[in-house]
Structure 1
Amino acid sequence: MMDADLLAEVRAFRQRYPDVRYVDLIALDIPGHFYGKRYPVEMLEKVAAGSALKLPQNSVLLGVQGGLFKIGDYCFNDGDPDALRRLVPGTLKPVTWEAQPLGQMLITTDGTEKPIVFEPRQVLAQVLDRLAAKGIHPVVAFELEFYLFDKKLRDGLPQFPRDDLSDDADDQPNMHIERLSRFSPVLDDMVAASQAQGIDTTVITAELGAGQYEINFGHLDDGLRAADWAALFCRSTRGVALKHGYRASFMAKPYLQHPGSGMHVHVSLYDAAGNNILAANQQRSLRHAVAGCLELLPHCMPIFAPNQNAYRRLGGTTNIATRASWGFEDRDACLRIPESDAKNLRIEHRLAGADANPYLVLAAILVGLEHGLESGSEPIAPLNENRSSGVDFPLEMLEAVRAMQHQPQLREGLGVEFVDVYCENKRQDHLAFMQEITAREYRWYL
């Protein structure tokens, strides 16, 4: 069916960017990588005018290295069927980091006749729809940490980024404004590229690690769009870094001796009249929401820490929780309650690694908040009252998958089929990762 607004968007884009011949139609798979197709821009206009847009259903199930795993009847017993996608309005934007003029646009199965129930964007969409039906409207902001590296690896290992002042030593002071100045050409271009995607980027911080930065986004009352921003930011940031002769990575723990990179998600909840639900009843609702999040957090670890490396970030260095915990103005807590007035009272979820899937991270957080509000349970003591307060969570993938797969609130909140598919994807990816004998293994055991 023709969408007049979409057609107008495509035609306006073609008029504004006449040199663009191709547009990448992209979506995020389960591991958090973009897949899709490069369409001639005139064919994109036909899709907006009503032509069907189809891609293989099982593209969503790709492993980290792009391979397919046998998951139930998917991939090898289903004939690899196509599934309808639709264009996401408002996401057709120029790509500024490629050598040739190019555009990109998000596609999704949510809102189609038969959505893929395990597509990450669809999973979040169904959670948001359910909350909206209950009169709950989230406002969300993502913060993403990442590292810059020198473009060339040394003996297969990443090196801190070098500018004209750098030598073989790391002379870039942590959290120092000078580092923002020394690398301003690439950082400024990253901000410009993300703004060209329609992303409201705000504060830039030089973080603790050598070459580590954080860029924050504005708050949005559209959870899908907030997750879109996080996904698109990762893509543009990597592209801009390569353009400037660097690598950018959202890997959760690239250096053992330096802090890892996190995905911090700020969430507040409002009713239809614009009242902050978390502030109601003298913040009793906040306590219930925190309790629900903490209860489900140990069962959500395959989402918050989606790969082997992500678990290296946990239980180690600065501002990283070792147990499910909460606290007021406490960066050692998984759930931090920043100081704010009643209108802006929110929860900052700090546990997820920067390479986690933003759609799934937000969906898991919202299911936890929903569960807490409905159960009315009280949380454990905050860290402000008891520094040892907390609930253990899994610290390796197979244990985490077992904890997730049969948790009833997650199966109901995220969808039974999604939970089963996701857990098997993570299990198979982990087993594939372990099928290599490293040099250290020979040193220790040969």
Structure 2
Amino acid sequence: MDAVCSDLVAEVRGFRQRFPDVRYVDLISLDIPGHFYGKRYPIEMLEKVAAGSALKLPQNCVLLGTQGGLFNIGDYCFNDGDPDAPRRLVPGTLKIVDWEKQPLGQMLITSSGTEKPIVFEPREVLAQVLERLARKGIFPVVAFELEFYLFDRQLRDGLPQFARDPLTDDADDQPNMHIERLSRFAPVLDDMVETARAQGIDTTVITAELGPGQFEINFGHLDDGLRAADWAALFCRSTRGVALKHNYRASFMAKPYLQHPGSGMHVHVSLYDEAGNNLLAANDQQPLRHAVAGCLELLPHCMPIFAPNHNALRRLSGTVNVATRASWGFEDRDACLRVPESDARNLRIEHRLAGADANPYLVLAAILVGLEQGLEAGRQPIAPLNEDRSSGIDFPLEMLEAVHSMQHNAKLREGLGAEFVNVYCENKRQDHLAFMHDINAREYRWYL
């Protein structure tokens, strides 16, 4: 048994000692739309997998559409016999699930690091970008921030209802950032934070956001980009589970209300060399400007990643603190790329464009590719919003146009992998067409 297997076996045995009532463990991985898929394993079988027994799932699980169906994509799905692909356990991710009625465990799995990685698996795409950066002596430090809404657990005619204030039983229908809202919703928010910490997630600041029932929870900075994206993915899963336990429905939908702010995924990224020096701060912050220029240049071609569905594109409609063009600025929340005030050691870029329902592995991978190409090109960016409020680069706001722009961009195909770009774009194109293949009530009202 090699060292990795030995450590995994020790992790499983330690978990069983701490949680003797757990009989099953969910082995989970994120698909292209950002949903978890996987299998529920008896705990005894998990120990055998940890020791080296084969772990396989259908390769095409990664390609599922938003509603779980498969699309005809190139040589995959209906043209390949639906083959299995090897997966491995991700060390350090075996954690308790305490929001279910019965005690349960969960653990991340991935094809990354196996003898045949799935090139379009989101975690593998990010892993490849991080490995390439490491070979160049570039080491990111990353922190995610996620906004979400709380709704009443029961929908009404299919529509979400405002969350009920647990103290007054009134609807939390007044958009504001008052600190009292944190106190009123403390039972569910505290449970979300403690549950996330039980998953190993370093949760930090909690904010009551502008929307009714809207909150934001931040995570600590990590020098492991894969783990940072793991945290974001796992937080969404645990937060939904905890909300249901408290008779709420938590949603990371990007734009649940037209009249209220949408929910975003903000990503803070700084870049260091092997000695721990901040690359962005060198040479009077010229690398910062080069990185910004590269990110802005690539951003219009990454829109299917940052806004992965029809609703996510609605969020980019000119509401407060949401950019409608690719822009940047110092301490400016209207910019796509915000440079927060900090010392040279902590100089970083905050990427603010992605919706909260975007795939965190792919969002981070796309950001890093933009920064990487900007550092290599060494070009100056457009004027920051601090100097010119009209500064910006247009990006597509319609899915089919965005998909076309992404699929044919040579730099993105090089940075993320041509096969991934082809598969992802076709998945998004067909998902969008499936969504539009419906006649809703408004269409009848207008045209019947």
**Any idea what the Cα deviations from partners look like across 1:215-257, whole Å, max 9, x if unmatched?**
0000000000000000000000000000110000000000000
Q: Check whether the contact 1:149–1:159 (CA below 8 A) recurs between aligned residues.
A: yes
Q: Which residue of 2 aligns with 1:270?
A: 272
Q: Check whether the contact 1:172–1:179 (CA below 8 A) recurs between aligned residues.
A: no
Q: Does 1:36 align with 2:17?
A: no
**What is the TM-score of this pair, normalised by structure 1?**
0.99
In the alignment, the residues of structure 1 paired with residue 89 and residue 159 of structure 2 have an alpha-carbon distance, to the nearest angstrom, of 39
In the alignment, the residues of structure 2 paired with residue 170 and residue 186 of structure 1 have an alpha-carbon distance, to the nearest angstrom, of 14
Q: Which residue of 2 aligns with 1:23?
A: 25
Q: Which residue of 1 aligns with 2:144?
A: 142
In the alignment, the residues of structure 2 paired with residue 166 and residue 403 of structure 1 have an alpha-carbon distance, to the nearest angstrom, of 50
Q: Note the C-alpha offset of 1:172.
A: 4.5
Instruction: Work out which of the residue numbers 228, 231, 252 in structure 1 matches 2:230.
Output: 228
Return the letter of the residue paired with 2:43.
Answer: V
Q: Which residue of 1 aligns with 2:376?
A: 374
Q: Note the C-alpha offset of 1:170.
A: 4.2
Residues 289-308 of structure 1: pairs in structure 2 closer than 5 A:
289-308=291-310
Instruction: Work out which of the residue numbers 321, 324, 348 in structure 1 matches 2:323.
Output: 321
Q: Which residue of 2 aligns with 1:357?
A: 359
Q: How many residues align?
A: 446
Instruction: Work out which of the residue numbers 417, 420, 423 in structure 2 matches 1:418.
Output: 420
Q: Note the C-alpha offset of 1:58.
A: 0.2
Q: Note the C-alpha offset of 1:341.
A: 0.2
**Any idea what the Cα deviations from partners look like across 1:49-75, whole Å, max 9, x if unmatched?**
110000000000000000000000100
Q: Which residue of 2 aligns with 1:181?
A: 183
Return the letter of the residue paired with 2:105.
Answer: G
In the alignment, the residues of structure 2 paired with residue 423 and residue 414 of structure 1 have an alpha-carbon distance, to the nearest angstrom, of 12
The answer for unaligned runs of 5 or more in structure 2 is none
Q: Note the C-alpha offset of 1:165.
A: 4.4
In the alignment, the residues of structure 1 paired with residue 221 and residue 440 of structure 2 have an alpha-carbon distance, to the nearest angstrom, of 44
In the alignment, the residues of structure 1 paired with residue 211 and residue 414 of structure 2 have an alpha-carbon distance, to the nearest angstrom, of 39
In the alignment, the residues of structure 1 paired with residue 278 and residue 231 of structure 2 have an alpha-carbon distance, to the nearest angstrom, of 24
Q: Note the C-alpha offset of 1:387.
A: 0.1
In the alignment, the residues of structure 2 paired with residue 84 and residue 231 of structure 1 have an alpha-carbon distance, to the nearest angstrom, of 21
Q: Note the C-alpha offset of 1:372.
A: 0.1
Return the letter of the residue paired with 1:234.
Answer: C
Q: Which residue of 1 aligns with 2:105?
A: 103
Return the letter of the residue paired with 2:398.
Answer: E
Q: Which residue of 1 aligns with 2:219?
A: 217
SS in 1 for 2:69: coil
In the alignment, the residues of structure 2 paired with residue 297 and residue 372 of structure 1 have an alpha-carbon distance, to the nearest angstrom, of 12
In the alignment, the residues of structure 1 paired with residue 287 and residue 45 of structure 2 have an alpha-carbon distance, to the nearest angstrom, of 50
In the alignment, the residues of structure 2 paired with residue 400 and residue 215 of structure 1 have an alpha-carbon distance, to the nearest angstrom, of 29
Residues 45-444 of structure 1: pairs in structure 2 closer than 5 A:
45-166=47-168, 170=172, 172=174, 174-444=176-446
In the alignment, the residues of structure 2 paired with residue 315 and residue 374 of structure 1 have an alpha-carbon distance, to the nearest angstrom, of 33
The answer for unaligned runs of 5 or more in structure 1 is none
Q: Note the C-alpha offset of 1:154.
A: 1.6
**Aligned sequence identity (%):** 86
In the alignment, the residues of structure 1 paired with residue 376 and residue 160 of structure 2 have an alpha-carbon distance, to the nearest angstrom, of 46
**Any idea what the Cα deviations from partners look like across 1:256-296, whole Å, max 9, x if unmatched?**
00000000000000000000000011000000000000000
Return the letter of the residue paired with 1:248.
Answer: A
In the alignment, the residues of structure 1 paired with residue 175 and residue 329 of structure 2 have an alpha-carbon distance, to the nearest angstrom, of 29
SS in 2 for 1:12: helix
Q: Check whether the contact 2:385–2:391 (CA below 8 A) recurs between aligned residues.
A: yes
Q: Stretches of 4+ moved more than 6 A in 1?
A: none
Pair 1:202–1:168, CA change in 2 (3 A): closer
Q: Note the C-alpha offset of 1:163.
A: 2.6
Q: Check whether the contact 2:173–2:213 (CA below 8 A) recurs between aligned residues.
A: no
In the alignment, the residues of structure 1 paired with residue 64 and residue 79 of structure 2 have an alpha-carbon distance, to the nearest angstrom, of 16
Q: Note the C-alpha offset of 1:173.
A: 5.4
In the alignment, the residues of structure 2 paired with residue 170 and residue 14 of structure 1 have an alpha-carbon distance, to the nearest angstrom, of 42
SS in 1 for 2:204: strand
Q: Check whether the contact 1:142–1:226 (CA below 8 A) recurs between aligned residues.
A: yes
In the alignment, the residues of structure 2 paired with residue 40 and residue 172 of structure 1 have an alpha-carbon distance, to the nearest angstrom, of 46
